[in-house]
Homo-oligomer: A and B are copies of this chain.
Amino acid sequence: MKITRMHGAGGKVMQNLIGDVILGSLTNTQVNGGIGLQDLDDGSTIPIGDNEIVFTVDGHTVDPIFFKGGDIGRISVCGTVNDLSVMGAKPLALSMSFVLPEGFDIDKLKEIMDSINKACEEAGVAVITGDTKVSNVSDIIISSAGIGIVEKGKAVRDKGMKEGDSIIVTGNLAEHGLTILLSREGFDLESNLKSDVAPVNGLIQSVLNEGITINAMKDPTRGGLADSLNEMAEKSGLGITLQEDQIPLSEEVNFISEALGIDPLTVANEGKVVMAIPKKDAEKALEIIKNHPLGKNAKIVGEVTSEHKGVIMETLVGRRVVDTPIGDPIPRVC
């Protein structure tokens, strides 16, 4: 069997590859009883003393490397910072491993480095180790691993949501993935759409600092909100009921999604968070989030239930299942 694009797209095909080939081959996947690879969370942990070191990695191969709202440098910082942040950790340090094609313009590399630096300053993290290789690649690839820290036992898990929890989404969805798709497919739409790529650690800390418990949390990147919610539902053994009219989507995203025949719930975000929060604290949490510059379009979009499994959305015309996407969304009009 051969690798296809679907194996790297988030969704079920990738999950099967990871489960069968990668996890299936490895004997040692956790340290000191911490969260391990087999938990398939946004990061893993190493308990040391009173703390847990949180560790995560992301490979970045975005095409095009410069796009409205960001570039591969900004994504390589934010993607890793955000994976640490949704574990409830304080991000501390990143590693950056660059693979460059021969002939790559050093001025472009400088531009990417400036973008990395700006994102690191926003997030308050440092790049403390790195590597560069030159190889047969069509464009620059950046793999960024990250280290964060959280008090022992306080890591926020994908699986932690409880019956009755409110589901909060911190802002308008699908902006990153649609921006990339439009520019990759060469659609010359007059559009104000830009990627939402941003570090979310400050937004999350603003909630945690008020003593609010976040029972479960993810950043809905590849596979979009649909993928994240299904993962949270499956891991907790519970279900989620969404209210379609509460899902934050800009008019522009609605218009473009319909024009392209794409479900915006399956499209990647790079600066959003989905949280399960005890109902009694949900309104307070929403208010805190809406006061943060990255959270002004936040909404309570649904509720955790034991009455069904998976994710079901109540719409104007009835209920529909929101399933885990198979792979990347493909415009039906192309």
Give the B-binding residues of A (Cβ under 8 A).
1-9, 14, 17-18, 21-22, 24-32, 34-37, 43-44, 46, 48-51, 53, 55-61, 63, 92-93, 95-107, 109-110, 113-114, 116-117, 120-121, 124-139, 141, 143, 145, 147, 149
Contact = CB atoms under 8 A, between A and B. Distances in A.
Contacts of A17: 106, 132
Secondary structure type dominating chain A contacts: mixed
Contact of A129 (B32, B57, B139): B57
The winner among A25, A55, A129 for most chain B CB atoms within 10 A is: A129
Given A35-B128, A55-B147, 10 more contacts: A3-B102, A17-B132, A26-B120, A27-B117, A44-B128, A48-B149, A49-B50, A53-B53, A56-B95, A136-B139
Contact of A131 (B59, B104, B126, B137): B59
A27 B121 contact: yes
A31 B126 contact: yes
Nearest to A129: B44
A184 to B, nearest CB: 13
A267 B31 CA distance: 35
A26 B51 CA distance: 28
Contacts of A109: 3, 21
13 contacts: A2-B106, A14-B132, A21-B109, A31-B92, A46-B147, A48-B49, A48-B51, A53-B147, A55-B129, A55-B145, A57-B143, A57-B145, A59-B143
